[in-house]
Amino acid sequence: MAESYVTESEVAHHEALQHHFENMEQQREAAALGMWVFLVTEIMFFGGMFLAYTLYRRVYPQSFAVASNHLNIWLGAVNTIILICSSFTMALAVYCTQVGKRQLQIIFLIVTMVFGAGFLGIKAVEYHEKYVDNLIPGRLIPSRPFNPAVNQEGAPHDEHKLTLIAGAAVKQVELFYWIYFAMTGMHALHMIIGLGIMSFLLYFSIRGHYGPEYHNPVEISGLYWHFVDIVWIFLFPLLYLLGRHMGGHG
Cα distances (angstroms) measured from residue 217 to each of 42, 47, 163: 18, 26, 48
Between CA 11 and CA 90, with CA 31 as vertex, the angle to 5 degrees is 110
Name which of residues 171 to 230 contact another protein (CB under 8 A): 212-213, 222-223, 226-227, 229-230
SS3 160: coil
Residue 87 makes contact with another protein by CB under 8 A: yes
SS3 150: strand
Minimum distance from residue 22 beta carbon to another protein (Å): 13
Among residues 77, 75, 28, 54, the alpha carbon closest in space to that of 237 is found at 77
Distance from CA of residue 181 to its chain's centroid?
A: 13
Residue 93 makes contact with another protein by CB under 8 A: no
Q: Burial, 212: exposed, middle or buried (Cβ in 10 Å; 0-12, 13-18, 19+)? A: exposed
Show Cβ contacts of residue 37 under 8 Å, excluding neighbours closer than 6 positions. none
Residue 25 makes contact with another protein by CB under 8 A: yes
Contact mark string toward another protein, 30..69, x via CB under 8 A: --xx--xx-xx--xx--xx--x--xx--xx-x--------
Stretch that binds another protein, among 113-121, 148-156, 172-180, 234-242 (CB under 8 A): 234-242
Interface residue with another protein among 90, 113, 164, 183 (CB under 8 A) is 90
Binding site for another protein (CB under 8 A): 24-25, 28-29, 32-33, 36-37, 39-40, 43-44, 47-48, 51, 54-55, 58-59, 61, 73, 77, 80-81, 84-85, 87-88, 90-92, 95, 98-99, 212-213, 222-223, 226-227, 229-230, 233-234, 236-238, 241-242, 244-246
